[in-house]
Amino acid sequence: MKKRSSDPVTIQHQFDTFVKRVLAGEVKTYRAEMARRAAREDLFCEMAELELNRLCATDKYSCDSESFPVLDYLIEIEDSEIADALKQLTETKRDVILLSYFLDMKDVEIAEAFNLKGSTIHYHKDSSLRQLRKLLEGKGYEPK
């Protein structure tokens, strides 16, 4: 006697077979994903000291730097010798240097911000750089 496909036992066997196939496929997918991850991941215990040092992060605190407000910006300088040298400049010259070299503004943009001519900004920048060079060389400054 042949069982019908609508028979509850047959349906249960068909469902069992279907579930087993789905689970087998999921196991295969999981194992493939784990193999892909293992191929891409590097374990810390297998890394060289140099690689580990490259991955580390250092905390930066505001007490480790000097802040200079310029226009609507607050520019932080981490090198204390440069910060001290910048403090010895006039406010205009310091602002021109900070905007030019730390915010990458062009002379024209700085001139517009201060309502000055571009040649005036160029003069301030040039004389400030000479003054900074003298100050830093006098202290025997070595770039970090």
Q: Span 132-138, mean pLDDT? A: 87
Q: Span 116-126, mean pLDDT? A: 90
Its pTM stands at 0.56
* Gap between the Cα atoms of 7 and 15, Å rounded: 12
Report yes or no: 124 and 92 within 8 Å, Cβ to Cβ: yes
Report yes or no: 132 and 86 within 8 Å, Cβ to Cβ: yes
- If we measure between CA atoms, which residue out of 125, 68, 117, 120 comes closest to residue 96? 125
pLDDT higher than threshold 70 for residue 113: yes
pLDDT higher than threshold 90 for residue 57: no
Tell me the pLDDT of the chain averaged across its residues: 87
Tens-digit pLDDT profile for residues 12-28: 999 999 999 999 999 99
CB-based contacts of 9: which residues, under 8 Å, 6+ apart? 3
* Gap between the Cα atoms of 98 and 1, Å rounded: 94
Tens-digit pLDDT profile for residues 73-103: 888 888 888 888 899 999 999 999 999 998 9
Identify the H or E element spanning 112: helix 107-114
At residue 141, the pLDDT reads 72
Q: What is the largest CA-CA distance in the chain?
A: 108
* Gap between the Cα atoms of 41 and 36, Å rounded: 9
